[in-house]
C-alpha cells in the first residue's frame, strides 16, 4: 500500500511543481481535462499536454507520449481510465516527477504501488483544480 498524501504534502507539491504533464488532455473545451489545464495555466503553471491524436491545445504543443517530452516535468497529472494508469505510471517513472496525480474518479492500487516503489508521491481520486483553489487561493 502506498502512503496517502496529507493536506500539507499536497499543498507543498502544488507550490513546488510548476511544470505539469497532463496525460489525456482533451482539446474540447467542455471536457474536465481542458478546464483543469486551462485553470492551471491561469494560475501560472506550465502545462505539457500528452495525447496521441492532438497536435496543439491551449497554445501548447502536444506530445504523443510522456517519453517524447524534451524537458523536465515536475508532476504527471492523469486523465485516463483507471485500468490504464499502471502503464501511464510506468511511462512516467523515467521522467522522475515529484508526483503523479490521478484526477477525481481515477484510482488504481497497482499504479500507486509502482509509484511508491519508486519513491514518487502518488495522489489518486482528487481534482488538482479543486485542491489548488482550496489550499492556495485562500492565501492570495
Q: Find the CATH number of the domain harbouring 24.
A: 3.40.50.720
Helix axes 32-42, 128-135, angle to 10 degrees: 30
Q: How far apart are CA 103 and CA 75, in angstroms?
A: 13
- Lowest mean pLDDT of 6-15, 17-26, 85-94, name the range: 6-15
Residue 46 lies in a domain: yes
Q: How far apart are CA 125 and CA 140, in angstroms?
A: 26
Q: How far apart are CA 124 and CA 4, in angstroms?
A: 9
Averaged pLDDT, 46-59: 97
Residue 2 lies in a domain: no
Residue 125 pLDDT more than 80? yes
Residue 1 lies in a domain: no
- Which range marks the domain in which residue 46 is found? 7-139
pLDDT band at 4 (very low <50, low <70, confident <90, very high): low
Residue 100 lies in a domain: yes
Residue 44 lies in a domain: yes
Query: CA angle 120-49-79, nearest 5°?
Result: 60
The structural domain count of the chain equals: 1
Residue 34 lies in a domain: yes
Amino acid at each position: 500500500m502506498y502512503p496517502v498524501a496529507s493536506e500539507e504534502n499536497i499543498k507543498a507539491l502544488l507550490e513546488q511543481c510548476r511544470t505539469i504533464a497532463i496525460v489525456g488532455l482533451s482539446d474540447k473545451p467542455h471536457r474536465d481535462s481542458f478546464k483543469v489545464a486551462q485553470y492551471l495555466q491561469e494560475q501560472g503553471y506550465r502545462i505539457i499536454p500528452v495525447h496521441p491524436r492532438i497536435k496543439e491545445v491551449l497554445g501548447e504543443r502536444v506530445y504523443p507520449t510522456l517519453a517524447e517530452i524534451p524537458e523536465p516535468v515536475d508532476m504527471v497529472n492523469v486523465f485516463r481510465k483507471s485500468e490504464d494508469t499502471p502503464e501511464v505510471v510506468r511511462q512516467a517513472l523515467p521522467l522522475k516527477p515529484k508526483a503523479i496525480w490521478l484526477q477525481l474518479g481515477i484510482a488504481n492500487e497497482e499504479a500507486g504501488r509502482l509509484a511508491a516503489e519508486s519513491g514518487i508521491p502518488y495522489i489518486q481520486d482528487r481534482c488538482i483544480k479543486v485542491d489548488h483553489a482550496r489550499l492556495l487561493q485562500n492565501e492570495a
